[in-house]
Amino acid sequence: MSGTLVLVRHGQSEWNLKNLFTGWRDVGLSEQGIKEANDAGKKLAERGFKFDIAYTSALSRAQVTCQRILDAVGQSGLTTIKDQALNERDYGDLVGLNKDDAREKWGEEQVHVWRRSYDVQPPGGESLRDTGARVWPYYMHEIQPHALRGETVLIAAHGNSLRALIMALEGMSGEEIVKLELGTGVPMIYQLNSDSTLKSKEIL
């Protein structure tokens, strides 16, 4: 019996649009982001997806994306678990700064290290490894059991919380995962074997 995980990074947020570091700041979706969330739902509806449970973060941009998808597949009232374990990586002192301004302040190379290294923390914030340290146990204890029962699970979250999860699902290294680009509002479908290993992956 194989289960299915559908992973979706939230649609474009107002701060994505402005090129700002967002992290745990609760920023809403842009008009484009709402369209992306709706489009993700339409794609999944066209494929006939029905979910048994949904998971999202404690941040509204992921929650709205999740709800738009559920509305599109005709499951508006589906049980949805919201937990900060799935929140975006905390960028600490960088939150609210324009990425170009940050480069001017600390230098291109330093900001690149903070954004794209696996285990280097920005000032006052989390590395991707730190993000994984909260995502992985939550996935193992709360989400994976549903998939292993053959259920179909929706996870609407963030670029870095999903990177941490994909790293575990695909057995990627820290060097590999930081190079992975995730589009906003793009459904990724993971079929799992009964022993939790990866059976297949598809990007809609």
User: Could you give the residue numbers annotated as active site?
Assistant: 10, 88
DSSP-based three-state secondary structure for 100: helix
**Nearest of 77, 73, 70, 69 to residue 47 by alpha carbon:** 73
**Nearest of 169, 9, 6, 28 to residue 89 by alpha carbon:** 9
Long-range residue pairs from 134-141, CB within 8 A, at least 24 positions apart, any chain: 134/85, 135/85, 135/86, 135/161, 135/164, 135/165, 136/164, 136/165, 136/168, 137/85, 138/83, 138/85, 138/86, 139/165, 139/168
Q: Encoding tokens for residue 77? A: 């009232």
Calpha distance 84→98 (Å, rounded): 24
Calpha distance 31→23 (Å, rounded): 20
Q: Encoding tokens for residue 13? A: 């947020």
